[in-house]
Structure 1
């Protein structure tokens, strides 16, 4: 993965994307959201995958979700991914949200970790062999958030959702040192 993209043309109109950075330009409206994905799926041959997202600006209300989602058909109106939701708020997606600290797994949310906002770095770790997901905040492992379901063996994409006017992020795929230096379970 080397850059980011919007999920749909509608969402593209709400975002400013520059390689590894994105900013939400949309309205301050709970009914509108936009998502970005990695331009390529996470390689299925990986035993594990980790990336970090620096919150450059939490925006007006801090509603930013970081996680991943199953494959999306670019030729359809994103049937697998509701364009008005954040990662984890619908089936086949998983995410950790900055405004409430919840971990959302395929539509179900539970208290998980601290809130995050401007200046924080959130990491997302997927272990395909052990089927676990955990997040980090500023280099600290927050513990297992959820387990990958059976049948996850489809393309998975990094997914970041915005519902916070002015929110902006920068993604690190390992092109520079990660804040998290702990053990990545293999």
Structure 2
């Protein structure tokens, strides 16, 4: 069972660059284009819980950063949650987007430079919740998950720069993910 441990250099938008660690992603578009990157492996549902965190090193000019997960078929030039088979929490408006509806739901606070956003997929009850700076946002963002899901991040903010933690270092969130 292979777990996601880095970004997939061959599964990203051309508007993104990735450093040699395969954990840091920089947006290189002009804010008109969206860049999305997927992890190197899907999340195995048999692990029951999967959690990862994204450090916002630089929010960029307009803070358009989306953190979530998607299926392999999803367009890498559309923000997480804007297409069927894609879900994401966005830092510029605090909304969660799920699939092709085009409409988000207010979920949590905005996030920006210096924040760490965590995403927890619970395959026992097929739900997702997010954390900010190690604290659970307290409610379910998505329900009824299905499909083969990859962690993903989308950026559309000039100067935007993030780093992912798939568990190679200590997480900021230390709470009980199974209680939600």
TM-score (normalised: structure 1): 0.87
Superposed CA offset, 1:61-89 (max 9, x none) = 0000000012x2xxxxxxx3133321011
Q: What is the 5 A alignment of 1:9-28?
A: 11-12=13-14, 14-18=15-19, 19-28=22-31
| Partner SS state of residue 87, structure 2 | strand
Distance in structure 1 (CA, Å) of the matches to 2:84 and 2:9: 19
Distance in structure 2 (CA, Å) of the matches to 1:168 and 1:23: 4
Instruction: Identify if the C-alpha distance between structure 1 residues 88 and 40 changes in structure 2 by more than 3 Å, giving closer, same or farther.
Output: same
Q: Which runs of 4+ in 1 moved over 4 A?
A: 6-9
Distance in structure 2 (CA, Å) of the matches to 1:177 and 1:83: 29
Partner of 1:131: 126
Instruction: Identify if the C-alpha distance between structure 1 residues 51 and 8 changes in structure 2 by more than 3 Å, giving closer, same or farther.
Output: closer
Partner of 1:66: 67
Ranges in structure 2 where 5+ consecutive residues have no aligned partner: none
1:85 aligns with 2:86: no
Q: How many residues align?
A: 171
Is the contact made by 1:6 and 1:35 (CA closer than 8 Å) also made in structure 2? no
Partner of 2:144: 148
Superposed CA offset, 1:10-35 (max 9, x none) = x23x2110211100011122xx1010
Instruction: Identify if the C-alpha distance between structure 1 residues 85 and 35 changes in structure 2 by more than 3 Å, giving closer, same or farther.
Output: same
Partner of 2:37: 36
Distance in structure 1 (CA, Å) of the matches to 2:9 and 2:144: 24
Distance in structure 2 (CA, Å) of the matches to 1:164 and 1:25: 9
Partner of 2:89: 96
Is the contact made by 1:60 and 1:164 (CA closer than 8 Å) also made in structure 2? yes
| Partner SS state of residue 54, structure 1 | strand
Distance in structure 2 (CA, Å) of the matches to 1:121 and 1:40: 22
Partner of 1:110: 105
- RMSD of the alignment, in Å? 1.5
Is the contact made by 1:48 and 1:129 (CA closer than 8 Å) also made in structure 2? yes
